[in-house]
Amino acid sequence: MSTFDYDLFVIGGGSGGVRAARVAAGEAGAKVALAEEDRYGGTCVIRGCVPKKLMVFASSYGGMVEEATHYGWDLLNKGFDWTTFSGHLNKELDRLEDVYRKLLAGSGVTTYDARARVKDPHTVELSSGETFTAKHILIASGGRPIRPDLPNAHLGIVSDDIFHMESLPKSMLIIGGGYIACEFACILAGLGVEVTQYYRGAQILRGFDEEARGLIADSMRELGVDLHTGTNIVGMDCYRGEDDEGMDAPVEVTQYAMPAKDGPKDGPLKVKATNGDVKVFDQVLFATGRRPNSDDMGLEEAGVTLGRGGAIEVDEYSQTKVPSIYAIGDVTDRVNLTPVAIREGMAFVETVFHGNPTPVDHTLIPSAVFTQPELGTVGLTEEQARDQEPIEVYCTSFRPMQSAFADKHGRVLMKLIVSQESRKVLGCHIVAPGAGEMIQMAGIAIKMGATKEDFDRTVAVHPTMSEEIVTMRKPMRTA
Ligand code: NDP
């Protein structure tokens, strides 16, 4: 008989925490509790992947209607209505949250709708005042978007706020050049918002393949995004109408800038950029990165060590410095993707409740950026691979049949990076509509260690865009 209230107490009801709790309770028969202070489903379901992808779908219909007319359809496009969409979106999120709650209850997990703190290596304290002991504690508290350290940054919004907008702004400035900035630039432009994007570096999507980044940037500009690279925000303030004398003055002035309440501002904002431009936007979205939710959780007091940006330090089994405390998902800032957090949760259960130490394999993780077109990627970029060993680069770029027929200029890119020595495909990068779907399949072959010759032996599916992945015969270059 255990002397603890629970075998496992999970802090955080997002994808990783819910999966670990369900599997530990349902399959391993452990006595499990989970505390969530906000909505069940976490970032992915409530304010990330799921509502974002639904917005990607919503934003693509305008272009589809335009294309359809070239195919002979006589359609009447009366425009996009945010109120209708967000009503349906909220209902869908309610339904999904309910599914998550039922899954937990169905697995026998006790849930607490409260904020939890670690009191000591075996005790969790809830905001409700209750205290519970547990043999193991799993921290799966995720992360949150951050604003840059800039005067008046609180006037702008972050990605969490997008889904709660009462109406679509006419114009929006997006700061950043990562996943979230680029995805929302495309989504909002597709919904009819005038989008300007400032990115401080030379090219958006740092860390991805250079050629793919270039094509995505071109495609975003073609979509109507006014993308400025090498540009950042230096100041922002409330805009006080046409007589605003501050337009030519430095906008760091803060005396009159405070909004009625300490939160995002609905009225127009004027923004000064590093290139000297001062422009007015209805809204400013900061997509400038995320930070682990590890503050004020009693972690360091309990002996858990935090690394850069507050990430919980863990070993390959997701175990912290305190043997009874584990951490998974974005709060550990390893690879911040939902399926990775789920894998980490499953590996934790296997390690702790099945006595089978299971590290998480963080190599060759396929992923997609849901820009328009999408970017699907797995393995090394050309730049990473050529620093590692001699490579061949197979690459083709073309106008896809469907949109070329409708006189659209957009191009797609299919690219393979191959080791000269082992012949293994080290990386695959696809820029195309549906690239997220394609890269999942390529990811299997590459994870299995497929060589270029294995790709060549595979018969093409014709006519498709992805057939080019198996028909590129001559390397474009070696490096
Ligand atoms: P990223 O880290 O991808 O991007 C942050 C961006 O903000 C970078 O372009 C960065 O520039 C810029 N930035 C950071 N600080 C400042 C500053 N002070 N001023 C101006 N610009 C700044 O973060 P995201 O928030 O876009 O995404 C977070 C994570 O969420 C991703 O890494 C990914 O793991 C996950 N995610 C995955 C998605 C998917 O799978 N499709 C979708 C959305 C998120 P610089 O490059 O110069 O550092």
CB atoms under 10 Å from CB of 346, counted, come to: 19
- Looking at the predicted structure, is the pLDDT value of residue 247 above 50? no
Distance CA 313, CA 319 (A): 8
Residue nearest to atom 30 of ligand 1 (CA): 336
- Report domain extents, the chain: 6-144+291-353, 153-286, 367-478
Q: How much is the pLDDT for 281? A: 97
Tokens for 335?
Answer: 């690879």
Query: Which homologous superfamily is 367-478 in?
Result: FAD/NAD-linked reductase, C-terminal dimerisation domain (3.30.390.30)
Cis peptide before 373 (omega within 30 of 0): yes
Tokens for 369?
Answer: 């950026």
Higher pLDDT, 217 or 258: 217
Q: How much is the pLDDT for 250? A: 44
Contact 475, 394 (CB under 8 A): yes
Q: Decide: pTM greater than 0.85.
A: yes
Contact 397, 215 (CB under 8 A): yes
Q: Worst-scoring range by mean pLDDT, 264-273, 398-407, 445-454?
A: 264-273
Tokens for 12?
Answer: 């955080």
- Looking at the predicted structure, is the pLDDT value of residue 256 above 70? no
Percent of the chain with pLDDT over 70: 95
CA distances from 446 to 8, 38, 57, 420 (A): 36, 38, 29, 15
Q: How much is the pLDDT for 257? A: 37
Q: How confident is the model at residue 117 (pLDDT cuts 50, 70, 90)?
A: very high
263 in contact with ligand 1, CB cutoff 6 A: no
Higher pLDDT, 355 or 264: 355
- Looking at the predicted structure, is the pLDDT value of residue 254 above 80? no
Q: How much is the pLDDT for 241? A: 76
pLDDT tens, position by position, 118-165: 999 999 999 999 999 999 999 999 999 999 999 999 999 999 999 999
One fold for 6-144+291-353 and 367-478: no
Q: How confident is the model at residue 258 (pLDDT cuts 50, 70, 90)?
A: very low
Distance CA 412, CA 215 (A): 8
pLDDT tens, position by position, 17-70: 999 999 999 999 999 999 999 999 999 999 999 999 999 999 999 999 999 999
Distance 286 CA to ligand 1 centre (A): 10
- Looking at the predicted structure, is the pLDDT value of residue 253 above 50? no
Contact 48, 162 (CB under 8 A): no
Distance 175 CA to ligand 1 centre (A): 10
Q: What is the best residue among 49, 54, 198, 200 to mutate for testing ligand 1's pocket, by most ligand atoms within 8 Å of CB?
A: 200
Distance 27 CA to ligand 1 centre (A): 36
Non-local CB neighbours of 398 within 8 Å, separated by 6+ positions:
411, 412, 468
Residue nearest to atom 19 of ligand 1 (CA): 148
Q: How much is the pLDDT for 268? A: 93
- Looking at the predicted structure, is the pLDDT value of residue 244 above 90? no
Q: How much is the pLDDT for 145? A: 98
pLDDT tens, position by position, 442-460: 999 999 999 999 999 999 9
Q: How much is the pLDDT for 242? A: 67
**153-286 classified as CATH 3.50.50.60:** yes
Q: How confident is the model at residue 267 (pLDDT cuts 50, 70, 90)?
A: confident
Mean pLDDT for the chain overall: 94
Alpha helices in 74-125 (DSSP H): 82-106
Q: How much is the pLDDT for 266? A: 66
366 in contact with ligand 1, CB cutoff 6 A: no
- Looking at the predicted structure, is the pLDDT value of residue 246 above 80? no
Q: How much is the pLDDT for 215? A: 98
Q: Element (H or E) spanning 108, and its range?
A: none
Distance CA 8, CA 342 (A): 17
Distance 17 CA to ligand 1 centre (A): 23
Q: Regarding the domain delimited by 6-144+291-353, which CATH topology (the fold level of the hierarchy) does it fall under?
A: FAD/NAD(P)-binding domain (3.50.50)
